[in-house]
Structure 1
Amino acid sequence: MVVVLADQLTKLLIRAYIDIDQAYTLWGIPLTHIENSGMAGGLFQGNARLFGVVAVLFVIGVLYFRKTGDMKGVLIDSCFGFFVGGAIGNGIDRLLYGQVTDFIIRGGGVLNIADHAIEVGVLLLIISGIVSWFKNRAQLLES
């Protein structure tokens, strides 16, 4: 919920105070207001609502997996929390506005808080996999 609130609040502020394609710097962070009707990197422009439906299906899938899956624990719960928060944040934009507001310039692309939350989720998933591998290896060595 925190991710969704932070994402939607920052997008609201960007839409209200920064014109499209206007460059701005806040606390040393370069920002620009972009509206993306596609997906990552501007691919498949004009399909935002379709990707909004995909986001809803993704969230349903994650919730189902969390209920029935074997993966448990704080790290994996946090991972899926970031995934779901990011998907909902961008899904709201896609379904309500037909486009996603991006504004944080990084690495040649323009992202938003939801995008960064999904990246954090991926990082936590990788860390969880590594921790799980080490735990399983230690159990095998003890046997």
Structure 2
Amino acid sequence: MIFYLVAAIVLAADQLSKWWVRSHLEMGVASTVWGGLVHVLRLENTGATGNTFAGYGRWFVPIAILILAVVLYYRSKGKLRGAWMEVGTGLFVGGALGNAVDRAVFNAVTDFIKASKGHDAIMNIADIGLNAGVIVILLSTLFFRRKRAEAAQTAE
């Protein structure tokens, strides 16, 4: 249940934030929100990270669907167990679906969160979900692998 909740929250937050950005910011215009805490700059990315593969963004929609299918398959087989794995895969799938919706509907992903002053990275909520999901999945895998190894040594 955690997986579905996290994925739905990431997808909804991503799509709502992108709707707000498309409705209130002109393309290429920088601004700040939340009292200057967050710097925003609306860009449309027709490719992948850093606009690599520009113009081929829709090719990534089937990849997002494949990611969802693989995660659902492994979940059904009991391979992705534990609260942290649920959170990590939920973040990752929610992010993948958020960007896939943009690519399918607009043929471009709306990016708007400027990482920090002095950096060129522009991202969105889906990108944050994807990155956070990968980190949580890796940490969960490493932590529980180590925990299982320690339990096996203790059992010997």
Q: TM-score, normalised by structure 1?
A: 0.94
Aligned residues: 143
Deviation digits for residues 57-90 of structure 1 (CA, Å, limit 9, x no counterpart) = 2111211121125231111111110111001100
1:133 matches 2:145: yes
Amino acid aligned to 1:31: V
Amino acid aligned to 1:128: S
Alignment map for 1:1-143 (pairs within 5 Å): 1-27=8-34, 28-106=37-115, 107-142=119-154, 143=156
Unaligned stretches of 5+ in structure 1?
Answer: none
* Distance in 2 of aligned mates of 1:68 and 1:137: 22
Unaligned stretches of 5+ in structure 2?
Answer: 1-7
Amino acid aligned to 1:9: L
* Distance in 1 of aligned mates of 2:41 and 2:27: 7
Q: TM-score, normalised by structure 2?
A: 0.87
Counterpart of 2:3 in structure 1 is none
* Distance in 2 of aligned mates of 1:73 and 1:33: 37
Deviation digits for residues 99-135 of structure 1 (CA, Å, limit 9, x no counterpart) = 0000001142110000000111011112102211331
Query: Helix, strand or coil for the counterpart of 1:101?
Result: strand
Query: Helix, strand or coil for the counterpart of 1:33?
Result: strand
* Distance in 2 of aligned mates of 1:56 and 1:133: 28
Deviation digits for residues 19-66 of structure 1 (CA, Å, limit 9, x no counterpart) = 000000113211000000000111000011111121112111211121
Query: Helix, strand or coil for the counterpart of 1:34?
Result: strand
Quote how far apart the aligned CAs of 1:140 are.
Answer: 2.8
